Chains A and B, each alone.
Chain A
Amino acid sequence: MYRPEIENHEQFLHLYVECEESLRGFVRSLLPTLEDAREVMQETAAVLWKKFDQLDDPENFRRWAFGVARFEVLAYRRDKARDRHIFGEELLTQLALESEKIALDSDREIKALKSCLAKLPPKHSALVREAYDKDLKIKQIAEREGRTPMSVYKVLHRARMALADCVKETLEGEEARA
């Protein structure tokens, strides 16, 4: 039985998954909190799906998706009146172009991130898991751990930098071996 809606979903998902991680990173880079980024990604994905029928050529999906995401970020900031964190148009365009160019293999990047997380010192890894699994605020973690918010923030910041470095090295190593 021909089921065009499923075919449509599959094509959408295929294209969406290909650029999801770089799109998510781009959206996150323009918003002050993860919760904001999550809401905008949700909105972006909904708009992409709703207007998917209007996309003439799947080849253009990536560019179109970044354009939609950019618009959604601006709309979100306007609605939430969070102007103090707005970058100007020039940087926004630059970040969009550079994010768009990053030819990421989401599956590989997620695998790399997972293996990098396992390489973090246990205490750092536990803190990262606590922060991201339960989506706790730094202040809440500090209270639970009996630490100052600044010390928690510093550990998380260092862990994120270490993870970003590790992911980059892992992917570069894989490419060199291929």
Chain B
Amino acid sequence: MKSDQEKMDLVGRYLAGETTATETSRLEQLMLADEQLRQDFLAYARVDAALPGMISGTGSLLDFAEAPAQTDRSWKGWIAGAVAVCAVVAWLASASFLSKEAAEVAHIAELKNCRWMHQSEASVEGTPLRVGQRIELSEGQAKVLFDTGAELQLEGPSILEVKGPNAAFLILGSAEVLADSKESQGFTLGTPSSRFVDLGTAFTASVAPDGLSRLEVSDGEVNLIVDHDHQHQLLGAGQAMLVEPGERKILTRIESGDASKDFRFPTIIPPSNQDYADISQGFASASVGRGLLRSRPNWTVNPKSILDGSGQTNQDSPQESVFFENDVKNGSLLIDLGKAISIAKINSYSWHQHNRIPEHNDRAQQKFTLFGWPDKELPNLEIPARESGWVRIARVNSEQFFHVKQLDNRPSQQACSIFASKGEIGEYRYLLLEVNGPTFFGEIDVYKAE
């Protein structure tokens, strides 16, 4: 660096977020007058920005893509995007990240209809895999067998890095893990937002291009550890969890209920009248942000029903549910909490099953993006929340969660619980649910942080 030490110390402190307003202003004046300092400042910032991606193997090109719900791109489009991402990642990774001394800890055990994004060593069955080696699969399935006995079935498009004798990192895509031997116990699969530690079991993990991670346990138990604060959640068979990327690490749990008016779920508590947003507490109100709620000559859906402290009393009760007219594709519901409060948890509940036609339960699904707004003055609700400055809290897609492929395998009663891995979700005055599909909400509970 050609700039003097004092100036560079100021640069370092600025990029560490440590400067006072006076120091920031001084740095600004110095840089305006000094081209060399600007160059050194930018070079320093580029190093700082590139290191996380280079060291952890993530964070570079994978940042660009959006989840399908946000971009209106189709799932097929996403796959195509992911394939393209894989191609470029492979290209950038061509400057081998591998150490010649790295130990062989696994091998490719089985390949099915595979197409690789990069002509690598891992292209035939039996190929050994070293620590630090990446597998970049654009199509098909590849089974990786660790020497500990842990099996990992990759589904293309996926990018995986072998991290150790009993550990891997899923950068993108989907992997099924079976680690039921004594030696493989504790197998760890890292993702950009969390780590999944196997406790003698089987689970599936997936990672979207923007780092949204999903864990689904099919057998035994898995510890989900959110990075930074080492908070963990223990998930048992049949349970699943989403982890949003970002500083707060928002977790989303979705469960199916017992399809009774008691709304019983494995771990999520039933609808409550004790939450902060309940009508009886006198603080909050609900209204429509965008779109038209269902209306009939003798009744109209009342948005307040989602804050009345209870779910529906039967499986097909339109007058106790909040839902949109059939032609509304992107409606939104607004909850005004009266003032900005620190939120600990948000639970949403839905229940819909036609009394005679089993296939008619599509409104049971919960597909929405939850946003928060801290100030009293709201932006224009006709503009999509992403474009008007709302803070995205979580994305919910119960259809994906329950692998709904046929109408009759959709749970008719569902609950979704959104919370932070540690502390609160954030401080917001308004919550906005941008709904991306049919729904039949019975209740939404908002719990204030203590």
Contact = CB atoms under 8 A, between A and B. Distances in A.
A148 B247 CA distance: 24
B102 interface: no
B85 A132 contact: no
Contact of A84 (B24, B38, B389): B24
A86 B27 CA distance: 11
Contact of B66 (A49, A84, A85, A167): A49
Given A3-B80, A17-B92, A138-B16, A164 B38 contact: no
B43 A164 contact: yes
A168 B24 contact: no
Interface in B83-99: 83-85, 87-88, 91-92, 94-95, 97
Contact of B46 (A6, A24, A35): A24
A106 B88 CA distance: 12
B54 A9 contact: no
Interface in A116-155: 117, 128-129, 132-136, 138, 153
B384 to A, nearest CB: 11
Main secondary structure of the interface of A (DSSP, over half): helix
Contacts of A107: 91-92, 94-95
B80 A157 contact: no
A34 B44 CA distance: 13
Contact of A113 (B24, B54, B227): B54
Given A49-B71, A98-B39, A164-B47, A133 B55 contact: yes
A132 B56 contact: yes
Nearest to A22: B46
B84 A110 contact: no
B287 to A, nearest CB: 23
A124 B47 CA distance: 15
B14 A114 contact: no
A45 interface: yes
Contacts of B31: 87, 91, 94-95
Of the four ranges (under 10, 10 to 19, 20 to 34, 35 or more), the interface on chain B belongs to 35 or more
Contacts of A46: 64-66, 70-71, 210
Interface string B20-51: 11001000100110000011111111111111
B15 interface: yes
B88 A37 contact: no
B7 to A, nearest CB: 11
Given A110-B95, A165-B1, A49 B64 contact: yes
Interface string A79-118: 1000011111011001100110010001101110110010
B92 A110 contact: yes
Contact of B50 (A13, A79, A109, A138): A109
Nearest to A81: B374
Contact of B42 (A25, A34, A48, A75): A25
Given A6-B84, A13-B85, A161-B1, A113 B49 contact: no
Residue of A25, A91, A110 most packed against chain B (CB within 10 A)? A25
B15 A32 contact: yes
Contacts of A91: 28, 31-32
Contacts of A17: 61, 88, 92
Contact of A34 (B43, B48, B84, B85): B48
B99 to A, nearest CB: 10
A123 to B, nearest CB: 16
A26 interface: yes
Contacts of B54: 110, 113-114, 117, 132
Contacts of B268: none
Interface in B300-338: none
B382 interface: no
A177 interface: no
8 contacts: A24-B50, A26-B45, A35-B247, A42-B245, A84-B24, A86-B24, A157-B8, A163-B47
Interface of B: 1, 8-9, 12, 14-17, 19-21, 24, 28, 31-32, 38-52, 54-56, 59-61, 63-66, 70-71, 76-77, 80-81, 83-85, 87-88, 91-92, 94-95, 97, 210, 227-228, 245-247, 389, 391
Interface of A: 3, 5-6, 9-10, 13-14, 16-17, 20-22, 24-29, 32-35, 37-39, 41-42, 45-46, 48-50, 75, 78-79, 84-88, 90-91, 94-95, 98-99, 102, 106-107, 109-111, 113-114, 117, 128-129, 132-136, 138, 153, 157, 160-161, 163-165, 167-168
9 closest Cβ pairs, A-B complex: A25-B46, A32-B17, A45-B64, A9-B84, A28-B49, A29-B45, A157-B12, A24-B49, A28-B45
